[in-house]
């Protein structure tokens, strides 16, 4: 039961409730390889290794190639964000509690989606060499060099950094000058691209002591298996004489190709 509802028990109340600031959307889900409508508790993402071309003599049979096929398995987990609204509580306030609680529940689930993705990204093996200091152009170029060296497709490249790193990026002329960046994309705090990567700001990136872990990756390098997309319901529960506003999702993330992901440490 939502125990703090009585804070709204007043004679007259504003028609709107101010939701306290928090991330309410998923910022990473649309950047990945996503497979929806998964049936079962696991999903296999299939991988195929590169092959090497060869030659043949005139009139000879070609030597057939045998691509190595493997798979990685994403395990789905279920997440819920449910809030009870006592039916009689609604008589004591003219705020639309069901709508506001639904908004809060959806935000909680969307944040959990990003947490699942970030947790899996953190399992990547590669970390750029430069650790000291905050975000610098040199560090970003290390990420770009790593991806280029491993022949990672330039399409769907993503750079995920925190709020502190966005501020540091604004001090780098090569990133903020219109000579280098389209429409000063970084000034939009993650809406746009620079150095061939889509920039996304997330305050949910892991931080140990003063070290924030950021990520550069190609979206096809990590998969998200979704059994149940983000769904919200409002149901009346007679036993509780209350409405249950509930958002839920079932999904799991898994690295498909570790070569397409690199981690970057930034000191805050």
Structural domain for 221, as ranges: 25-48+68-267
Half-sphere exposure of 218 (CA within 13 A, CB side): 17
Is residue 28 classed as helix, strand or coil in its secondary structure?
coil
Mean pLDDT, range 176-189, rounded to an integer: 55
In a domain, 62, yes or no: no
Check: CB of residue 112 under 8 Å from CB of residue 29: no
In a domain, 59, yes or no: no
Give the C-alpha separation, 126 to 262, whole Å: 5
pLDDT reading at 34 higher than 80: yes
In a domain, 221, yes or no: yes
pTM comes to 0.85
In a domain, 170, yes or no: yes
- pLDDT on residue 70: 94
In a domain, 55, yes or no: no
225-241 burial by CB neighbour count: b if 16+ within 10 A, else e?
Answer: bbbeebeeeeeeeeeee
- pLDDT on residue 97: 80
Number of domains in the chain: 1
Give the C-alpha separation, 123 to 206, whole Å: 12
In a domain, 53, yes or no: no
Length reported for the chain: 268
In a domain, 57, yes or no: no
In a domain, 181, yes or no: yes
Give the C-alpha separation, 173 to 8, whole Å: 49
Residues 158-180 pLDDT 10s: 999 999 998 898 888 877 766 55
Which carries the bigger pLDDT value, residue 188 or residue 140? 140
CATH number at 119 reads 3.30.2400.10
Residues 43-88 pLDDT 10s: 999 998 888 888 988 888 888 888 899 999 999 999 999 999 898 8
């Amino acid at each position: 039961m939502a125990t703090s509802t009585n804070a709204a028990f007043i004679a007259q109340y504003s028609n709107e409730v101010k939701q306290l600031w928090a991330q309410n959307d998923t910022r990473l889900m649309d950047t990945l390889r996503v497979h929806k409508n998964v049936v079962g508790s696991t999903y296999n993402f299939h991988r195929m290794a590169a092959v090497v071309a060869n030659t043949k003599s005139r009139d000879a049979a070609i030597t057939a190639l045998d691509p190595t096929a493997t798979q990685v398995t994403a395990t789905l987990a279920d997440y819920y964000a449910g809030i009870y609204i006592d039916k009689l509580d609604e008589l004591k306030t003219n705020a639309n509690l069901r709508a506001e609680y639904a908004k809060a529940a959806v935000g909680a689930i969307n944040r959990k989606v990003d947490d699942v993705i970030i947790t899996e990204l953190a399992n990547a093996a590669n970390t750029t060499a430069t650790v000291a200091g905050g975000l610098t152009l040199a560090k970003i170029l290390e990420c770009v060099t790593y991806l280029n060296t491993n022949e990672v497709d330039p399409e769907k490249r993503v750079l995920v950094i925190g709020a502190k790193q966005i501020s540091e990026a604004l001090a780098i002329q090569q990133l903020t000058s219109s000579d280098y960046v389209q429409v000063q994309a970084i000034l939009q705090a993650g809406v746009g691209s620079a150095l061939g990567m889509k920039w996304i700001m997330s305050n949910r990136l892991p931080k140990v002591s003063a070290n924030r872990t950021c990520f550069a990756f190609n979206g096809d390098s990590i998969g998200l298996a979704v059994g149940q997309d983000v769904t919200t319901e409002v149901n009346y529960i007679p036993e509780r004489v209350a409405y249950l506003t509930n958002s839920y999702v079932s999904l799991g993330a898994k690295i498909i190709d570790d070569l397409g992901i690199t981690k970057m440490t930034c000191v805050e």
